């Protein structure tokens, strides 16, 4: 890695500004470590795309996703965290301080907390990339408004698919959920809400093999996985919610990844490299929630504080229970 002229040394560098990253920043900031958070392309992470979060404690009436992450950020900044609108492009974890190259420069970090989260998985069918932004979407909150009184399809059968499908009924005339199995994977309450919703229909045992359109989407080509039959289903929009993959490519070869690309940590959020911790969905294929990601972020920061106390020449004052 070439050393750029604008290089900054920090005690704690947090990569990612979702619930995990901002919670890590809060804890590190309260230990007077002045953490820097690299926000990446999505300030606030996935939850900022969500309309309402109803399962984060402390908000009995629910809270907007954007509002929640704004509060996370404000709280971390109050204690000295700094959020930078920059993205890590390359890391060198072979020695401390760790070197993290970004679009705008370079950081030398005594400890690193990786909270780069996950991004939606694409269908990888013809028409998908060509029509993205012209009817194909991965975010109902961002794009639902464009489908007022239109017919849309949602691809998937898990929590995200149903949550987003129900959200789309605010705008769309009809929402058809296309699922490759004959049963949903989503939680029971969500299933009930979706199945009973008058605007929502289901197409079972079917996969999308092509998205059809020119300037805009006009149909999806479906294949019934049981009968093999193909058919075209007219639609104005295609919302794809079939899972996520972890944003961990830049750590490949330097940190241990599992077979799906998730960072491997022990239960104290340690990676194999001392001083490098991972938190949230980048290291969590199981829970994938705001509260669990935030909890992992806090835990990673507490471990980073201990690490600095043990390794830095001048021990930092522990503020974990301040």
Ligand X SMILES: Cc1cc2nc3c(=O)[nH]c(=O)nc-3n(C[C@H](O)[C@H](O)[C@H](O)COP(=O)(O)OP(=O)(O)OC[C@H]3O[C@@H](n4cnc5c(N)ncnc54)[C@H](O)[C@@H]3O)c2cc1C
Contacts with ligand X, residue ranges (CB under 6 A)? 15-21, 38-42, 45-47, 49-50, 53, 55, 87-88, 115-118, 160, 163-164, 247, 250, 280-281, 288-291, 293
CB 238 within 8 A of CB 207: no
245 forms bridges with which residues in the sheet? 119
For ligand X, give the closer residue by CB, 162 or 308: 162
Residues acting as catalytic residues:
139, 142-143
3-class DSSP state of 107: strand
Rounded Cα distance, 74 and 59, in Å:
17
What burial letters (b/e) apply to 179-201, b meaning 16+ CB within 10 Å?
bbeeebebeeebbebbeeeebbe
List Cβ neighbours of 261 (8 Å cut-off, separation of 6 or more): 245, 246, 248, 249, 252
List Cβ neighbours of 97 (8 Å cut-off, separation of 6 or more): 9, 108, 109, 110
For ligand X, give the closer residue by CB, 73 or 206: 73
Q: How far is the CB of 118 from ligand X (least distance, A)?
A: 5
Other CB atoms within 10 A of residue 60 CB: 7
Q: How far is the CB of 184 from ligand X (least distance, A)?
A: 16
Rounded Cα distance, 30 and 37, in Å:
14
For ligand X, give the closer residue by CB, 18 or 213: 18
For ligand X, give the closer residue by CB, 116 or 176: 116
Q: How far is the CB of 218 from ligand X (least distance, A)?
A: 25
Q: How far is the CB of 105 from ligand X (least distance, A)?
A: 13
Q: How far is the CB of 182 from ligand X (least distance, A)?
A: 24
Rounded Cα distance, 207 and 203, in Å:
9
Residue 194: both structure tokens together: 């979706």
Q: How far is the CB of 16 from ligand X (least distance, A)?
A: 3
For ligand X, give the closer residue by CB, 64 or 318: 64
Strands (E), the chain: 7-15, 36-38, 52-53, 63-64, 82-84, 88-92, 98-102, 106-114, 118-120, 136-137, 151-155, 174-178, 200-203, 206-213, 217-224, 230-234, 237-240, 244-246, 276-278
For ligand X, give the closer residue by CB, 111 or 289: 289
């Amino acid at each position: 890695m070439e050393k750029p002229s604008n290089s900054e040394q920090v005690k704690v560098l947090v990569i990612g500004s979702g619930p995990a990253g901002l919670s890590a920043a809060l804890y590190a900031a309260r230990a007077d470590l002045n953490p820097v958070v690299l926000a990446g392309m999505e300030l606030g992470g996935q939850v900022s795309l969500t309309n309402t979060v109803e399962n984060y404690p402390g908000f009995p009436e629910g809270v907007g996703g954007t509002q929640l992450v704004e509060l996370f950020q404000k709280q971390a900044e109050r204690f000295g965290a700094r959020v930078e609108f920059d993205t890590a492009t390359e890391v060198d974890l072979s020695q401390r301080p760790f070197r993290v190259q970004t679009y705008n420069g370079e950081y030398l970090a005594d400890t690193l907390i990786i909270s780069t989260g996950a991004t939606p998985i694409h269908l990888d069918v013809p028409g998908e990339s060509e029509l993205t932004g012209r009817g194909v979407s991965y975010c109902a909150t961002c794009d639902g408004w464009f489908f007022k009184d239109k017919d849309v399809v949602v691809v998937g059968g898990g929590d995200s698919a149903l949550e987003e499908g129900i959200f789309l009924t605010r705008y769309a005339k009809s929402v058809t959920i296309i699922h490759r199995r004959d049963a949903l994977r989503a939680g029971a309450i969500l299933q009930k809400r979706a199945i009973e919703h008058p605007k929502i229909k289901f197409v079972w045992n079917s996969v999308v093999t092509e998205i059809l359109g020119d300037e805009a989407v006009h149909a999806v080509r479906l294949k019934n996985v049981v009968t093999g039959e193909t058919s075209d289903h007219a639609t104005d929009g295609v919302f794809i919610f079939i899972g996520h993959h972890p944003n961990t490519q830049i750590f490949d070869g330097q940190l241990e990844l599992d077979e799906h690309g998730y960072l491997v940590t022990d239960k104290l959020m340690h990676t194999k490299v001392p001083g490098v911790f991972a938190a949230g969905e980048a290291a969590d294929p199981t829970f994938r929630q705001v509260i669990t990601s935030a909890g992992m972020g806090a835990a990673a920061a507490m471990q980073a504080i201990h690490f600095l106390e043990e390794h830095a020449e001048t021990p930092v004052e522990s503020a974990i229970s301040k």
